Structure formats: structure tokens, C-alpha cells
Amino acid sequence: MLKIVRSCRVPVLVLAALASTALARPVAAQTSLQPANWDSGMTLRLPEDLNPDPRILEINMEARLAEVEVEPGLRVKAWTYDGGLPGPLIRAKVGDRLIVHFTNRLQEPTTIHWHGVRVPIEMDGVPGISQDEVKQGESFTYDFELRDAGLYWYHPHVMSAAQVGFGLYGALQVDDPDDGVGVADSLTLVLSDIGFDKRGDLEPADSGGPAGMVFGREGQHVLVNGRRKPVLTVRSGAPQRWRIVNTAKSRFFLIDMDGQPITTIGTDGGLQERPTTEGTVLVTSGERVDVIVTPTGTPGSTLIVRAMLYNRGYGSVQYRDVEELFTIKFTNEPTLPKKPLPTIARTLTPVPAAGATRVPVVLTLPPQGPDGKSEFRVNGVPFWEAKPFLAKLGEVQLWEINNDTDWDHPFHLHGFFFMALDEKDQPIRPMAWKDTINIPMKTKARILIDFNERPGEWMFHCHILDHAEGGLMGTVQVGPPSGKSHTHRTGGE
């Protein structure tokens, strides 16, 4: 037993070694160090659990139009899950079963895709490939097990650039009570943006034409848990865990807390091998990060958390300003003395790369045609002309993805985690399970995927959703085809 006395004014944090795991991970008796209602400016709604079984979370959810206030007096007629922006925070424990009775009250067809979750193919939410569209007034029940701890999210896979941009997204958090992180004060942060005019009418999904598609449209209002510039009230020197998802359809967030250290402990597929500490953390579209921060400042003062400029292509840093995300307001209590964080580590077992099938993937953007149209291509073809990649069930593949465009592409694979490799086929350290990896302009990424289960046709695409709809999309058929013939339609990703 290891005892850490935090200070004479706060309870003693007792850490016990877990005997059953290879790495002795401490389990903390957690006590909040924050004032009451410290996070009331940015809490997320929770859905009502209809099922008495503690291992089953069963909820109803509706997609519908709703007027939403993103700051006092500033309203937008958004597309929402259950009337809010973002949708409810679906929160369960690892191993739980999730049942979502979904009804579409929109005038357009939609679906729900569960980003990053190892769902059966029938639950993956891609119309024409894994399920039928849910049309206006129709319902569909999603039902699957939450096998992996981590922060995931959900959004439509029909006209996704439009529907996500209009407000259809929410977080799905799968907790591991034994993760040993030992930080009591935790926030889930859904970062997004939305574009609308003075009347609250949404910016059209095709604004800017082909140039808008090539850039990746960003809404002018940056939102944190659906609010503009909310406020957190915190005690200086108290550690916090932030679980962050970027649900914006194009915008990247390079998060800065006035240069104060940000310790990343996990990413898409839960905790990473070991923490890393830097002055900023980048979260590209679709990605998640799990970080520990200890905001520190003079009692009574404020600290602004910002999104700094990050160059993901022409126009993303020119004539642009940093964005304020939220304000940290320090209470008048004295700063807590610095204490070391518990050892946060995870044993990850990489799949051997030797013998993996090499799959070249080249991303291009040919010059505009005479008709002014632009299209992104994967191995020479846009999505609507592409044939599925093939993988045998149990085959390990090494995708060597060459981004030969002048734009970054956060590359997302449905249904499977992968690991990023270096040029020598070794995992990039610290190791982490990813489902979305940013491939900066004119660079390459190498990812190792074990197609060891769940045969079916799985999507991959850029998570700048305008790029996806502009052609940067494809599928991989894992195992034999189901026999159902599929028609790939434009915009039906």
C-alpha cells in the first residue's frame, strides 16, 4: 500500500496495487478537489436508462430539428439528437451492452455510425453497405456490446458532411473502473463548430462550392459541449482528466492552455502505452485524446484554453485567429501543492508486422477539370468508382498510405483498431490503438491492421467529411462478400 498525502486540507489518497495485472496499477480512492458545480457551465445531458439490468444501457433516441441556444441570445435551428447539441453523453462500463432505439424525425434519411466501436457489421450504420437508411418516421434498434474502454462518438453516415455539420453528433464514453488513472475530477469535452446566419439558419452544406469541399468547410462558431466559450470554476493546482473528442466535420483543434503542460494518457482506443507531456495537444477530426492537466494560476484569476493555428492546408492559418474554447476561472483558495500523478501505463500487444500483406494506398487531388469540379481519389479513383479492397478473415495488412495532396487527411477505418508503424515496421512509441490517424500533407503513414474477426464490408475515409464526400473514401471487404450486391452511391457514405 502506498499512501500519498495531498495536503493537510484534503483527504488522503490511498492507492492500492492491483495484484492481478502484469503492471501494478494503482487504484485510487477518489475525492473531488473542485468546488461544487465547478463544471456546471459545460455538463452534457445523460440519456434515461430504460433497463433495470445494471450491465445493459437501453435508451431511446430521436434525430430531430430543434432550436438550440449556443450562447445566451444566440440560437441556431440545428439538426439534433434528442433536441440538444451535442447529443446525449452515452456512458457505460466496459463489457456493458448498449441498446439504442433510434427514430428518425428528420425530413431526410439518416443512420447512426458508432465511430471507433468494434460493432458487428450490421450495426455500423452505413447505408447501402451495412444497413438500410432509416427514413423519415422509421426506427432502427442498435444493439451491441461495448468491448473496449475509451471515448467514442456517434454520428450519421448519410450525407455526413451536411448532417454532422448541422449538429448530429454525440459522445459515447466506455469507462474502465480499474483503469488506475486516479483523477477524480473528470470532464468529457465534445469539440465542434457550426455555421449559421443572424436568423439562426444553418449555413448550406455546399457553401463555397468545390473550393469549400477541397478546404473542408468550418462553421464560424466553435463549440465546447454545445456552448460558445463556457466557463469552468476550478481550484488552482488540482488535477483534472479531460476526455476530448473532435466531432467537427473539418476543423482541427490544437489545444493550448497558455503553455501549461498537457499529459496525454490515451487516445482513440483507450489508454496508451505510457503518458507523454507537451505544451499543446492536437485533436484532428474524428480523433479522441485522454489527457490530464493541472491548471494553475493566481487565485481569483482566469486562464483561457485556446485552439491555436494549425496548418492543415491553404486557408487554415492565413488570415485566421486563434479561437477561445473555454475559460478556467480560479477560485480564491490557495494553489494546491504539486503532487506526482500515479503511474498510468498499459500493456499493449502489437500484432507482428512480419508477413503482413502490404497494401499501397495513394491519396491524390488532380487539378480541377474544365467543369470546375474537384475530386479526391484513392488509388486513382474517387469513391463512386472504387471497388472494395479485399482482406481474408484473419489476414494482417500493412497499409502504406501516401498522402500526395497539399491537405492533411485524418484517415479513419471503421470497425478495427490499428497501430501506426515507423519505416522499420516497428510500432511508433508510445504504442496506442487508433481508428483515426492524421496524415499531414505530402507525408506517409503506415498502419497495421489485424482483420481477425467480424467479416463484412467496412468503410475507410478521410474524417474531413467534405473530403470524404469529395471522393476520399473506400471500403475493405473482410472475408467473403455476403452475396448482397451493393450499389455505391455518391454522398451515401
Contact predicate 336/7, CB 8 Å: yes
Rounded to the nearest 5 percent, the helix, strand and coil shares of the chain are 5, 40, 55
Options 118-126, 128-136, 228-236, 402-410: segment touching Cu ion (CB under 5 A) = 402-410
Residue 219 Cβ, how far from Cu ion at the closest point, in Å?
A: 17
| Minimum CB distance to Cu ion smaller for 227 or for 412 | 412
Question: Which cell goes with 388?
Answer: 472494395
- Contact segment (CB under 5 A) with Cu ion among 14-22, 312-320, 395-403, 405-413 equals 405-413
The CA distance from 184 to 32, in Å, is 5
Smallest separation (angstroms) from Cu ion to the CB of 309: 18
Nearest to Cu ion of 242, 399 (CB atom): 399
Is the preceding peptide bond at 54 cis, omega within 30 degrees of 0? Answer: no
Other C-beta atoms within 10 Å of 125: how many? 28
Query: Which C-beta is closer to Cu ion: that of 398 or that of 462?
Result: 462
Asked if residues 226 and 70 have their Cβ atoms less than 8 Å apart, the reply is: yes
Question: Least Å distance between CB 352 and Cu ion?
Answer: 30
**Minimum separation from the CB atom of position 439 to Cu ion (A):** 8
- In this structure, the number of other CB atoms found within 10 A of the CB of residue 362 comes to 15
Least CB distance to Cu ion at residue 206 (A) = 17
Residue 434 as a binder of Cu ion (CB under 5 A): the answer is no
Q: Which of residues 463-482 bind Cu ion (CB under 5 A)?
A: 464, 467
Nearest distance from C-beta of residue 73 to Cu ion, angstroms: 35
Count of residues that bind Cu ion according to CB under 5 A: 4
Through-space distance between the first and last CA atoms of the chain, rounded to whole angstroms: 52
Nearer residue to Cu ion within complex by CB, 448 or 462: 462
Q: Which stretch binds Cu ion (CB under 5 A): 95-103, 104-112, 343-351, 454-462?
A: 454-462
Q: Which amino acid is at 106?
A: L
Residue 183 and residue 341 in contact, taking contact as beta carbons nearer than 8 Å: yes
133 vs 408, beta carbon nearer Cu ion? 408
Q: What is the grid cell recorded at 209?
A: 462550392
Closer CB to Cu ion, residue 254 or residue 464? 464
Query: What minimum distance in Å lies between the beta carbon of 385 and Cu ion?
Result: 18
* Residue 268 CB, nearest approach to Cu ion (Å): 17
Give the CB-side neighbour count of residue 267, counting CA atoms within 13 A.
25
Would you call 411 helix, strand, or coil by DSSP? strand
SS3 call for 428: coil
Q: Which is nearer to Cu ion, 437 or 464 (CB)?
A: 464
Choice between 63 and 161, CB closer to Cu ion: 161
Cα Dmax for the chain: 73
Q: What pairs with residue 381 in β-bridges?
A: 378
Rounded to whole angstroms, the Cα distance separating 39 from 230 reads 9
Rule CB under 5 A: choose which of 119, 271, 462, 478 binds Cu ion.
462
> Toward Cu ion, which CB reaches closer, 104 or 374?
374
Among 225-233, 280-288, 380-388, 403-411, the segment contacting Cu ion (CB under 5 A): 403-411
Residue 104 C-alpha cell reads as 428518425
The DSSP result for 173-224, as a single string, is EEE-TTS------EEEEEEEEE-B-TTSPBPPTTTTHHHHHHH----SEEEE
| Pairwise CA distance, residues 416 & 119, whole Å | 9
> Do 413 and 458 contact (CB within 8 A), yes or no?
yes
Rounded to whole angstroms, the Cα distance separating 418 from 438 reads 13
CB 467 to Cu ion: min, Å? 3
Query: C-alpha distances in angstroms, 416 versus 75, 120, 432, 440?
Result: 38, 11, 13, 22
Q: Closer to Cu ion at the Cβ: 293 or 464?
A: 464
| CA proximity to 256, closest of 278, 226, 237 | 278
Q: Please, which residue, 84 or 440, has the CB nearer to Cu ion?
A: 440
Tell which positions 9-68 bind Cu ion, by CB under 5 A.
none
Cβ of residue 322: shortest distance to Cu ion, in angstroms?
23
- Sorted by sequence, the CB contacts under 8 Å of residue 144 that are 6+ apart come out as 97, 98, 114, 117, 119, 120, 123
Stretch that binds Cu ion, among 42-50, 81-89, 387-395, 457-465 (CB under 5 A): 457-465
- For 233, residues 6+ apart whose C-beta sits below 8 A from its C-beta are 34, 35, 37, 38, 41, 329, 331
Contact window for Cu ion (CB under 5 A) among 68-76, 235-243, 267-275, 404-412:
404-412
The nearer residue to Cu ion, 126 or 464, going by C-beta atoms, is 464
Q: Nearest approach, Cβ of 291 to Cu ion (angstroms)?
A: 24
Q: How far is the CB of 157 from Cu ion (least distance, A)?
A: 16
Among 221, 228, 312, 409, binds Cu ion (CB under 5 A): 409
Note the residues at the interface with Cu ion (CB under 5 A).
409, 462, 464, 467
